[in-house]
Amino acid sequence: MWHGFKGCAGWKAWIGLAALVSSACSVSSDSRLPWVRVDEVAWTIGDDASWSQIDEPSGQWQVSAFSDLGGQDEIFWLRAEVTLTDAHVNSTEPLAVWLSALATCELFWDGEALPAHGKVGSSPQEEIAGPIDAPTFLPPRMATAGRHLLAGRCSTQHRQREPLVGFYFLAVSTYAEFIELAGAYSGIAIASLSAKAVAAIYFLAMFVLVRERSYLLLGLLSLSAGGLLVVEAWRSLVGYTYDWHFPRLYGVAAFAWLTCALLVLFFVTRFRGRYGRGLLAICLALSLVAFFGLPGWDAKVGAFFAIALVASTVWGVGAIRRGLPGSVLATLGVVLCLAVFVWKPGRFADQTVFLALDGTLALLLVSRAIQARDDSRRLVAERLRSARLEAELVKRSIQPHFLMNTLTALAEWFERQPEVASEMLDSLSQEMRMLYDIADQRTIPWSSELRLCRSHLEVMGYRQDRKFRLETTGINVDAPTAPGVLHTLLENALTHNRYRHPETVFQLIASRHGAATCYRLETPLGEALSTEPDRSSGGEEGTGMRYVRTRLEESFGSEVGLISRVEGDVWATEWTVPA
């Protein structure tokens, strides 16, 4: 019995992409030979060498679509009629039979065996798995015009499970065309893989250099997308025996899931928000449902991408509404990918996803570059602020009011009591040395700050011919503090108050509150402050308090809770820093 065959239609997905790309590469489809595709075959279980002959075969034969063939526990045969035209026969290119199936098949052309791939067997031990995609050269002497019988002796002993589709494609065309189609797909894959490799190297290098998590996530995302591409392109680039097909499909699913998870994780990490973990949990749950609930690998992988792209787009739109920097471009990147997905969802998982991901990664790269530029500007601004604070602290020691009054007082002590003048000079030298030493530090131990402050109080004591003392409670002298902060607060108190008592005591108290330490400085209210209410040192934040706030924020972040107010007969200043 001869079985009919139909024309070339309904390519499998990845072959289709190759054809699409191939035709786009300016090779006119008119110059190509029509593919002779076998859509319908007759098949039967059993093993009889005579079934390769053109004669009417014995036994019970069933007719079905080639793609409906399933795996069998025993050896089985299939037969189909193939008609070659003059165009095929006259072609200068050699012809080939292309079989793509999860099976090992020995092909016969008009009863004559074609070169075998693998070995058909009735048990897994006996069968040697053939390649999943096997182009078999058809000698010119056999490729005559007219009808021919294409028979196959097949076994499927190495199939791991029953796939939805196990017999993908059987056709005759020129050998070169098969190679060209596979090569076209490979070219796209290699180009896309190169882009992902470059992106991965850049992002991971940036992560190593600046230690920022979003770079790590983008690097891993690029690697994962590259991995997905490698396992997808493995079939056309290298090929494998059909028993590797399911391991490869698991690999595809794993890389696709990882790529999707990293994409959502990147968005949630890069644009932080309240429900980030919730979104990740929802995506994980939906992807599990898709993996176990949907039939077919393309559907599973497509669902992973649908979930990730929608989630990332929603999160990105939220980030745009919150005005987060870089959110527009990053969201545009996933919207682009989502648009490609919506355009051709059926071909997204194993075809367009790679080009779409390249576009997405490119936009994320630009978004990150803009962010890097902003970070760089912020860093410069922070450095300028640090330099300004340092200059401000050093300048204080050479500020005319401090320096000239101190020198005048020193001159007076020299003329009155040179030994006192010498002591004052020691204190002044100590204070100035300390100021220069600590000015460029981000934090210093309390021991240094206290030594600086006590030197300053000694100098001020000599200037006012009174004694000023600093008492501390609960201070860990090894704990860090912002340089010059206590010094500034004491200086403020001495500038804005008139202390008439022979001795004035300032109190510094530290207390632990969980993971934070609260510091409280109590300075007595002097006469000037109490008699002249407009002489406020804290109501309207002056230069000193601005320095204190800025310095604390630079050293400990913005949550220092600086408060300054009158409490009874003292002026209390409080601030809190991480313990």
Partner 1 sequence: MRVLIVEDETMVAARLERLIHGYFGEREFNLAVADNLVVARDLIAKQGPDVVFLDLNLNGRDGFELLNEAVAGPFHTIVVSAHHDQALRAFEVGVLDFVPKPFGPARLEQALRRLEDRQSEGRSVDGREDTLRAELQHLAVKRPGRIELVPMATVRTIQGSGDYSTLHLTDGSTRLHSKTLNTLEQILPARFARVHRSYLVDLDRIVQLHAASGGRYWLELEAGDRVPVSRSRIEEVRKLLT
Binding site for partner 1 (CB under 8 A): 400-401, 403-405, 407-413, 462-466, 495-498, 527-528, 531-532, 535, 537
CB of 412 to partner 1, least distance (A): 4
Spatial CB neighbours of 334, under 8 Å, sequence gap ≥ 6: 263, 267, 309, 312, 313, 316, 360
Choice between 282 and 425, CB closer to partner 1: 425
DSSP string, 467-514: EEEEEEES--TTSEE-TTHHHHHHHHHHHH----SSEEEEEEEEEEET
Residues 472, 433: Cα–Cα separation, whole Å: 23
Nearer to partner 1, 246 or 414 (CB): 414
Q: Whose Cβ is closer to partner 1: residue 227's or residue 484's?
A: 484
Whole-angstrom CA distances from 463 to 399, 420, 424 are 16, 11, 9
Among residues 22, 360, 297, the alpha carbon closest in space to that of 165 is found at 297
Contacts (Cβ under 8 Å, ≥6 apart) of 118? 104, 127, 128, 129, 130, 131, 241
Task: List the helix and strand counts (H, then E) for the chain.
Answer: 16, 17
Residue with Cβ nearer partner 1 (533 or 568): 533
Judge contact between 334 and 360, C-beta under 8 A.
yes
Closest contact distance (angstroms) between CB of 462 and partner 1 is: 7
Tell me if residue 57 falls in helix, strand or coil. coil
Q: How far is the CB of 419 from partner 1 (least distance, A)?
A: 15
**Least Å from the CB of residue 418 to partner 1:** 14
6 Cβ partners below 8 Å, 6+ apart?
37, 39, 40
Beta carbon of residue 376, minimum distance to partner 1 (angstroms, whole number): 39
Type of residue numbered 285: A
Q: How far apart are CA 528 and CA 532, in angstroms?
A: 6
Q: What residue has token string 């890389």?
A: 255
Query: Do 359 and 335 form a contact (C-beta atoms < 8 A)?
Result: no
Closest distance to partner 1 from the beta carbon of 547 (Å): 15
The least distance separating partner 1 from the CB of residue 543, rounded to whole angstroms, comes to 10
Q: Which is nearer to partner 1, 385 or 466 (CB)?
A: 466
Q: Which is closer to partner 1, CB of 426 or CB of 465? A: 465
In angstroms, what is the C-alpha Rg of the chain?
A: 41
Nearest distance from residue 496's CB to partner 1, in Å?
Answer: 5
Return the number of the residue (75 or 409) whose C-beta is nearest partner 1: 409
Tokens matching residue 134 = 């096997």
Buried b (16+ CB within 10 A) or exposed e, 380-412: eeeeeebeebbebbbebbeeeebeeebeebbee
Nearer of residues 194 and 405 to partner 1, judged by Cβ? 405
Question: Smallest distance from the beta carbon of 421 to partner 1, in angstroms?
Answer: 10
C-beta of 61 vs 462, nearer to partner 1: 462
